[in-house]
Amino acid sequence: MPVVNTQDGAQIFYKDWGSGIPVVFSHGWPLNADAWDPQMLFLVRQGYRVIAHDRRGHGRSSQTATGNDMDTYADDLAAVINHLDLKGAMLVGHSTGGGEVARYIGRHGTERIDKAVLVGAVPPIMLKSDSNPNGLPLSVFDGIREGLAKDRSQFFKDLSGPFFGANLPDSIASQGMRDAFWAQGMTGGILAHYLCIHEFSEVDYTQDLLKIDVPTLVIHGDADQIVPIDASGKLSANIIKNATLKIYKDAPHGLAATHAEKLNADLLAFLKDR
C-alpha cells in the first residue's frame, strides 16, 4: 500500500490516481478516504489527479496512541502533499476534514494550494458558548463519546441515519450508503475515534480561517443534522476572505454521497474557474 512515513513513525495511507491539476481530499469522522469515492472517480475521469489519505487512526493508516489531534492531522496532510510534491492543488475537506484543511493552511500556508473547498465542515467551532450561541452543547459530544465507548458498532449504525438524513421524510439515502459508513468506521481504531471527537467539537478554527488567502467554496446542506449550518458553514463563509457559500436545499451531512452529482458538478466548475 502507498504510505507516507511521518516524523513520529506513523504511516499514512493514501490513494493517488490520474494526472493533471491535483485535488486533495480530507474525509470526515469516523470514515476513511473511501468516503470520497464518488468524487474521485468522477474527477479522475475528467482529467484531474485525485489524492485522498486515511487520517491517522482511521482506515488503513497507523493506529497511534499519540498525535490524535488536529495539529498533527494537519502535519500528516502536509507530509502527504510534500511527499507527492504537489503544486497548485485544490484542497477539499468534509466535516472534520474541513477542520483539517483549515488547520493545514493555518500551519503550512498556501504555497502549494490554489483553492479550498469546505463541505459540511466543522469550522469555525461546533461547541456552544456565550460567543457561539448557535453551537451544540457539550452534552451532545459527551453523548457521542459514551455511545462510541459502549457499543461502537451499533453506534455507527445508528449514527448513519441522521448522517445521511435517512430519518427525514423523502430521504434519498440508500441502505448501501449507511452500510458503507459503518464499514469504513469499523476500519478505524476506537482510541483515535474517541480522541478525535474533541478535535471536531471543541477546537476553534477561527484563526485558521482568517489565514485562508485562496478562493474558497463553502458548501453546506440546510438539513445537516450533524454540523448545523448556522454555526458552521454560514459563519465560515463570512470569516474567510474571498469565500463563496453554496447551500444545498434539503441536503444532509453526508451530501457527498446523497448529492454526489451536484457536488461533483460544483467541484468541477470551481476547478475550471481560473
Domains of the chain: 3-272 (3.40.50.1820)
Whether the pLDDT of residue 40 is over 90: the answer is: yes
134-148 pLDDT tens trace = 999 999 999 999 999
φ, ψ dihedrals at 127, nearest 5° = -70, 135
Q: Of 53, 51, 40, nearest to 11 (Cα)? A: 53
What mean pLDDT is predicted for residues 250-265? Answer: 98
Give me the pLDDT at residue 249, please: 97
Assess contact for 59 and 188: CB atoms under 8 A.
yes
Confidence of residue 102 (pLDDT cuts 50, 70, 90): very high
Q: Which residues contact 193 (CB under 8 A, 6 or more apart)?
A: 29, 30, 57, 58, 148, 152, 185
Find the Cα–Cα–Cα–Cα dihedral 204, 126, 227, 26, rounded to 10°. 20
Question: Catalytic positions, please?
Answer: 95, 224, 253
* CA–CA gap between residue 98 and residue 118 (Å, rounded): 5
